[in-house]
Structure 1
Amino acid sequence: MNTLGRHILAEIYGCDEDILNDKNAIEKIMVDSALKSGAEVREVAFHKFSPQGVSGVVIISESHLTIHTWPELGYAAVDVFTCGDRINPWDACNYMTELFKAKNMTATEVKRGIFEEPVEVKAI
């Protein structure tokens, strides 16, 4: 089976509430996670909600990382989608889980763009 990409859907629990409510900290962690996985960061956009919570996206040449946090619950919903086989999305997901000081993470990997024939994917 040949795929265009891998998409990790992560449920991250027991995180540090202060980190999850800090827009600048979340942005740095997400960008650092992308870089640690070997991805090339293109753009970032993050928003702090009132009274709490942060949403954001890191656009990478290989696709994207997204997050929405519920600091009051110590919970973050994270997606890491990478195209091609050069980047391992689990590297980014595991690194951010560590930096959120999470107690637990469950995740599902979804194969995206399944083809019978080999497909060459090039980063933009």
Structure 2
Amino acid sequence: MKLNARHLTVDLYNCKNSQLTDIDLIKKTLKSSLSQNGASLIGLCCEQVEDDHHALMGILEEGHISLQVYSDLKYVAMDIFLCKEDAQPEAISKAMRSFFKPDKTKTTLLKRGDFTTLKEIKPKVKTHVAPLRKIHNTGAKVIRILAHRNNK
């Protein structure tokens, strides 16, 4: 099986849309954006985490989408994960950006599920020796202190 998944993370800063607290409108816009861009929504849940923080999670046939909406900060964090070769998470992101109207955005695209390089991946081995030295040094100090006390 070939899997070319794309994971787009988007930070939306200083959103100008005054309707950041209208979760029903955000859900409606999200559903419309997904539908217009060929994503099949299976389920959508929304939880109010704090007074100014809502978490939305959409399960798609192709992957998932999540939004963390912080109305007081005028900030939205969005993750779009799509598992199709012709996936276009950027199109969904663009539609949501036009709704939220941020001053600045930061996007990161990760390509996931690349099995061709799996043989080239080597495990990282990290050895940290400093604690052993500290134990040795502490032991030596204790011996010196005890020897000093015995010499008195």
Write out per-residue CA displacement over residues 9-52 of structure 1, whole angstroms, 9 at most, x where no aligned residue.
Answer: 10011213632222112211221221122111111101234422
TM-score by length of 2: 0.69
What is the aligned partner in structure 1 of residue 41 from structure 2? 41
Following superposition, the deviation at residue 91 of structure 1 comes to 0.3
Matches within 5 A, 1:27-106: 27-106=27-106
Letter in 2 for 1:59: I
Unpaired runs of 5+ in structure 1? 118-124
RMSD between superposed Cα atoms in Å: 1.8
Which one has a larger percent helix, Structure 1 or Structure 2? 2
Percent of residue pairs identical:
25
Distance 2:76 2:67 in 1: 7
Which one has a larger percent strand, Structure 1 or Structure 2? 1
Unpaired runs of 5+ in structure 2? 118-152
Matches within 5 A, 1:16-27: 16=16, 18-27=18-27
Letter in 1 for 2:95: Y
Q: Which has the higher contact order (CA 8 A, sep 6+)?
A: 1
Number of residue pairs aligned between Structure 1 and Structure 2: 116
